[in-house]
Amino acid sequence: MPTALVTGGSAGLGAAFACRLAADGYDLVLVARDRHRLEQVAAAHRRDHGVSVEVLAADLTEPAGLVAVERRLTDGTRPVDLLVNNAGVESDGEFVDVDVDDLQEEIDLNVTAVLRLTRAVVPAMIRRGDGGVVNVASFAGYLAARGSAYGATKAWVLAFTDTVAATLPGTGVQVIALCPGRLRSDEPGHVKQGRSALWLDPQMAVDRCLADLARGRTLSTPGLVYRAVVATLELPKRTLRLMARLVGRGREQRRVPRGTDTTMRLAG
Protein backbone atom coordinates (compact mmCIF):
# COMPACT_ATOMS: atom_id res chain seq x y z
CA MET A 1 0.00 0.00 0.00
CA PRO A 2 1.15 3.59 -0.57
CA THR A 3 1.88 5.71 2.50
CA ALA A 4 0.82 9.30 3.16
CA LEU A 5 2.18 11.53 5.91
CA VAL A 6 -0.22 14.26 7.02
CA THR A 7 0.83 17.04 9.37
CA GLY A 8 -1.94 18.39 11.56
CA GLY A 9 -3.71 15.14 10.75
CA SER A 10 -5.91 14.86 13.83
CA ALA A 11 -8.34 17.74 13.21
CA GLY A 12 -9.86 20.03 10.62
CA LEU A 13 -8.59 19.89 7.07
CA GLY A 14 -5.80 17.50 8.04
CA ALA A 15 -8.34 15.03 9.43
CA ALA A 16 -10.31 15.31 6.19
CA PHE A 17 -7.17 14.49 4.20
CA ALA A 18 -6.45 11.51 6.45
CA CYS A 19 -10.01 10.21 6.13
CA ARG A 20 -10.02 10.43 2.33
CA LEU A 21 -6.56 8.90 1.95
CA ALA A 22 -7.36 6.03 4.32
CA ALA A 23 -10.53 5.35 2.33
CA ASP A 24 -8.37 5.28 -0.81
CA GLY A 25 -6.16 2.61 0.75
CA TYR A 26 -3.21 4.68 1.94
CA ASP A 27 -1.37 3.69 5.07
CA LEU A 28 -1.00 6.81 7.19
CA VAL A 29 1.58 8.62 9.27
CA LEU A 30 -0.29 11.23 11.30
CA VAL A 31 1.63 14.11 12.83
CA ALA A 32 0.33 16.49 15.49
CA ARG A 33 1.23 17.64 18.99
CA ASP A 34 -1.53 15.84 20.93
CA ARG A 35 -0.63 12.15 21.12
CA HIS A 36 -3.88 11.17 22.86
CA ARG A 37 -6.00 12.67 20.12
CA LEU A 38 -3.77 11.17 17.44
CA GLU A 39 -4.22 7.72 18.95
CA GLN A 40 -8.00 8.13 18.94
CA VAL A 41 -8.04 9.20 15.29
CA ALA A 42 -5.61 6.43 14.31
CA ALA A 43 -7.78 3.78 15.98
CA ALA A 44 -10.81 4.97 14.03
CA HIS A 45 -8.96 4.76 10.69
CA ARG A 46 -7.65 1.29 11.48
CA ARG A 47 -11.15 0.14 12.39
CA ASP A 48 -13.02 1.82 9.53
CA HIS A 49 -10.56 1.33 6.67
CA GLY A 50 -8.24 -1.51 7.69
CA VAL A 51 -5.11 0.53 7.03
CA SER A 52 -1.91 0.83 9.01
CA VAL A 53 -1.69 4.12 10.93
CA GLU A 54 1.50 5.35 12.55
CA VAL A 55 1.27 8.08 15.18
CA LEU A 56 4.06 10.63 15.36
CA ALA A 57 3.53 13.19 18.11
CA ALA A 58 5.71 16.19 17.27
CA ASP A 59 5.68 19.96 17.59
CA LEU A 60 6.92 21.26 14.25
CA THR A 61 7.82 24.62 15.78
CA GLU A 62 10.46 22.88 17.91
CA PRO A 63 13.76 21.63 16.42
CA ALA A 64 13.41 18.15 17.94
CA GLY A 65 9.90 17.68 16.56
CA LEU A 66 10.88 18.89 13.11
CA VAL A 67 13.91 16.60 12.98
CA ALA A 68 11.80 13.60 14.05
CA VAL A 69 9.43 14.09 11.12
CA GLU A 70 12.31 14.71 8.71
CA ARG A 71 13.86 11.41 9.79
CA ARG A 72 10.59 9.60 9.12
CA LEU A 73 10.35 11.16 5.66
CA THR A 74 13.92 10.13 4.77
CA ASP A 75 13.60 6.55 6.04
CA GLY A 76 14.38 4.55 2.92
CA THR A 77 12.93 1.35 4.36
CA ARG A 78 9.49 3.00 4.80
CA PRO A 79 9.03 5.41 1.90
CA VAL A 80 6.38 8.11 1.99
CA ASP A 81 4.49 8.44 -1.29
CA LEU A 82 2.45 11.53 -0.44
CA LEU A 83 3.30 14.37 1.95
CA VAL A 84 0.50 16.69 3.04
CA ASN A 85 1.93 19.84 4.63
CA ASN A 86 -1.28 20.86 6.35
CA ALA A 87 -0.24 22.02 9.83
CA GLY A 88 -0.49 25.77 10.23
CA VAL A 89 -1.25 28.49 12.74
CA GLU A 90 -2.74 31.98 12.63
CA SER A 91 -2.15 34.48 15.41
CA ASP A 92 -5.14 36.33 16.82
CA GLY A 93 -5.01 40.10 16.60
CA GLU A 94 -3.22 42.61 14.42
CA PHE A 95 0.48 42.58 13.68
CA VAL A 96 1.46 45.39 16.05
CA ASP A 97 -0.48 43.85 18.93
CA VAL A 98 0.64 40.22 18.61
CA ASP A 99 3.54 39.00 20.72
CA VAL A 100 6.67 38.57 18.61
CA ASP A 101 7.05 34.96 19.77
CA ASP A 102 3.61 34.17 18.34
CA LEU A 103 4.60 35.79 15.04
CA GLN A 104 7.77 33.70 14.99
CA GLU A 105 5.69 30.57 15.58
CA GLU A 106 3.73 31.41 12.43
CA ILE A 107 6.97 31.53 10.47
CA ASP A 108 8.29 28.35 12.07
CA LEU A 109 5.19 26.29 11.29
CA ASN A 110 3.74 27.88 8.15
CA VAL A 111 7.06 28.47 6.38
CA THR A 112 10.06 26.68 7.87
CA ALA A 113 8.32 23.34 8.46
CA VAL A 114 6.87 23.33 4.93
CA LEU A 115 10.29 24.09 3.44
CA ARG A 116 12.18 21.47 5.44
CA LEU A 117 9.68 18.64 5.17
CA THR A 118 9.32 19.15 1.42
CA ARG A 119 13.11 19.19 1.07
CA ALA A 120 13.33 16.03 3.16
CA VAL A 121 10.93 13.96 1.06
CA VAL A 122 11.33 15.12 -2.55
CA PRO A 123 14.84 13.75 -3.31
CA ALA A 124 13.78 10.17 -2.51
CA MET A 125 10.60 10.63 -4.55
CA ILE A 126 12.69 11.76 -7.52
CA ARG A 127 14.93 8.71 -7.19
CA ARG A 128 11.87 6.44 -7.21
CA GLY A 129 10.28 8.39 -10.05
CA ASP A 130 6.99 8.82 -8.22
CA GLY A 131 5.42 10.80 -5.39
CA GLY A 132 3.51 13.92 -4.48
CA VAL A 133 3.44 16.85 -2.07
CA VAL A 134 0.40 18.90 -1.08
CA ASN A 135 1.16 22.27 0.49
CA VAL A 136 -1.87 23.83 2.15
CA ALA A 137 -1.89 27.55 1.42
CA SER A 138 -4.89 29.86 1.79
CA PHE A 139 -6.91 32.46 -0.08
CA ALA A 140 -5.35 34.81 2.47
CA GLY A 141 -2.14 34.41 0.46
CA TYR A 142 -3.84 36.54 -2.21
CA LEU A 143 -5.96 38.77 0.01
CA ALA A 144 -4.62 39.01 3.55
CA ALA A 145 -6.75 40.12 6.46
CA ARG A 146 -6.08 43.59 7.86
CA GLY A 147 -2.88 43.70 9.89
CA SER A 148 -2.27 39.96 9.78
CA ALA A 149 1.08 38.27 9.20
CA TYR A 150 -0.64 34.96 8.37
CA GLY A 151 -1.38 35.99 4.79
CA ALA A 152 2.30 36.64 4.16
CA THR A 153 3.21 33.09 5.19
CA LYS A 154 0.56 31.64 2.88
CA ALA A 155 1.73 33.84 0.00
CA TRP A 156 5.15 32.28 0.57
CA VAL A 157 3.62 28.77 0.38
CA LEU A 158 2.11 29.64 -3.00
CA ALA A 159 5.40 31.02 -4.35
CA PHE A 160 7.40 28.15 -2.87
CA THR A 161 5.15 25.55 -4.48
CA ASP A 162 5.52 27.30 -7.84
CA THR A 163 9.30 27.23 -7.45
CA VAL A 164 9.47 23.54 -6.55
CA ALA A 165 6.98 22.57 -9.26
CA ALA A 166 9.17 24.25 -11.88
CA THR A 167 12.02 21.85 -11.01
CA LEU A 168 10.00 18.64 -11.25
CA PRO A 169 8.83 18.10 -14.86
CA GLY A 170 9.95 14.70 -16.09
CA THR A 171 10.68 13.36 -12.60
CA GLY A 172 7.34 11.67 -11.95
CA VAL A 173 6.92 13.81 -8.81
CA GLN A 174 4.14 16.36 -8.42
CA VAL A 175 3.58 19.23 -6.02
CA ILE A 176 0.41 21.24 -5.60
CA ALA A 177 -0.72 24.18 -3.46
CA LEU A 178 -4.22 23.95 -2.03
CA CYS A 179 -5.75 27.40 -1.72
CA PRO A 180 -8.99 27.15 0.28
CA GLY A 181 -11.06 30.00 1.58
CA ARG A 182 -13.17 29.75 4.72
CA LEU A 183 -13.66 26.18 5.87
CA ARG A 184 -16.50 24.89 7.99
CA SER A 185 -15.44 23.33 11.26
CA ASP A 186 -16.96 21.43 14.15
CA GLU A 187 -14.05 22.38 16.40
CA PRO A 188 -15.03 24.11 19.68
CA GLY A 189 -14.45 27.83 19.65
CA HIS A 190 -14.42 28.13 15.86
CA VAL A 191 -15.74 31.39 14.45
CA LYS A 192 -19.42 31.60 13.57
CA GLN A 193 -20.01 30.10 10.15
CA GLY A 194 -22.42 31.42 7.58
CA ARG A 195 -24.38 29.58 4.93
CA SER A 196 -22.97 31.46 1.97
CA ALA A 197 -20.86 29.97 -0.81
CA LEU A 198 -17.79 31.43 0.92
CA TRP A 199 -17.93 28.67 3.55
CA LEU A 200 -16.52 25.41 2.20
CA ASP A 201 -16.77 21.82 3.36
CA PRO A 202 -13.27 20.49 4.21
CA GLN A 203 -13.94 17.12 2.57
CA MET A 204 -14.96 18.84 -0.64
CA ALA A 205 -11.73 20.85 -0.55
CA VAL A 206 -9.71 17.66 -0.12
CA ASP A 207 -11.52 15.88 -2.95
CA ARG A 208 -10.93 18.81 -5.28
CA CYS A 209 -7.25 19.02 -4.32
CA LEU A 210 -6.56 15.32 -4.91
CA ALA A 211 -8.42 15.42 -8.23
CA ASP A 212 -6.32 18.40 -9.34
CA LEU A 213 -3.15 16.64 -8.18
CA ALA A 214 -4.10 13.61 -10.30
CA ARG A 215 -4.54 15.95 -13.29
CA GLY A 216 -1.02 17.30 -12.83
CA ARG A 217 -2.09 20.76 -11.72
CA THR A 218 0.06 22.83 -9.35
CA LEU A 219 -2.73 24.94 -7.83
CA SER A 220 -6.11 23.84 -6.48
CA THR A 221 -8.78 26.32 -5.46
CA PRO A 222 -12.02 24.76 -4.20
CA GLY A 223 -15.23 26.76 -4.39
CA LEU A 224 -16.59 28.58 -7.43
CA VAL A 225 -16.21 32.07 -5.97
CA TYR A 226 -12.64 31.58 -4.80
CA ARG A 227 -11.69 29.79 -8.00
CA ALA A 228 -12.96 32.66 -10.15
CA VAL A 229 -11.04 35.26 -8.15
CA VAL A 230 -7.81 33.23 -8.07
CA ALA A 231 -8.04 32.48 -11.81
CA THR A 232 -8.13 36.24 -12.47
CA LEU A 233 -5.22 36.94 -10.13
CA GLU A 234 -3.18 34.08 -11.61
CA LEU A 235 -3.63 35.23 -15.23
CA PRO A 236 -0.45 37.38 -15.31
CA LYS A 237 1.57 34.46 -13.93
CA ARG A 238 0.19 32.07 -16.53
CA THR A 239 1.04 34.58 -19.24
CA LEU A 240 4.62 34.90 -17.97
CA ARG A 241 5.01 31.11 -17.78
CA LEU A 242 3.83 30.79 -21.38
CA MET A 243 6.30 33.48 -22.47
CA ALA A 244 9.08 31.66 -20.63
CA ARG A 245 8.28 28.39 -22.41
CA LEU A 246 8.16 30.12 -25.80
CA VAL A 247 11.44 31.92 -25.19
CA GLY A 248 13.05 28.70 -24.00
CA ARG A 249 12.00 26.85 -27.14
CA GLY A 250 13.00 29.61 -29.50
CA ARG A 251 16.46 30.46 -28.19
CA GLU A 252 19.63 28.59 -27.47
CA GLN A 253 19.73 27.69 -23.78
CA ARG A 254 22.72 29.13 -21.97
CA ARG A 255 24.13 28.02 -18.64
CA VAL A 256 23.90 30.84 -16.13
CA PRO A 257 27.07 31.11 -14.01
CA ARG A 258 26.58 30.55 -10.29
CA GLY A 259 26.03 33.79 -8.49
CA THR A 260 24.56 35.55 -11.52
CA ASP A 261 21.45 37.64 -10.90
CA THR A 262 18.71 35.76 -12.79
CA THR A 263 15.93 38.24 -12.16
CA MET A 264 15.83 39.23 -15.83
CA ARG A 265 16.62 35.82 -17.29
CA LEU A 266 13.93 36.26 -19.97
CA ALA A 267 15.67 39.29 -21.39
CA GLY A 268 18.33 39.18 -24.09
Would you name the residues annotated as active-site residues? Answer: 150
**Residue 262 DSSP code:** -
Closest CA to 226 of 141, 132, 153: 141
Show Cβ contacts of residue 234 under 8 Å, excluding neighbours closer than 6 positions: 219
Helix axes 100-107, 150-165, angle to 10 degrees: 20
End-to-end Cα, the chain, rounded Å: 50
Among 176, 185, 131, residue whose Cα is nearest residue 157: 176
Burial label, 124 (beta-carbon count in 10 A; 0-12, 13-18, 19+): middle
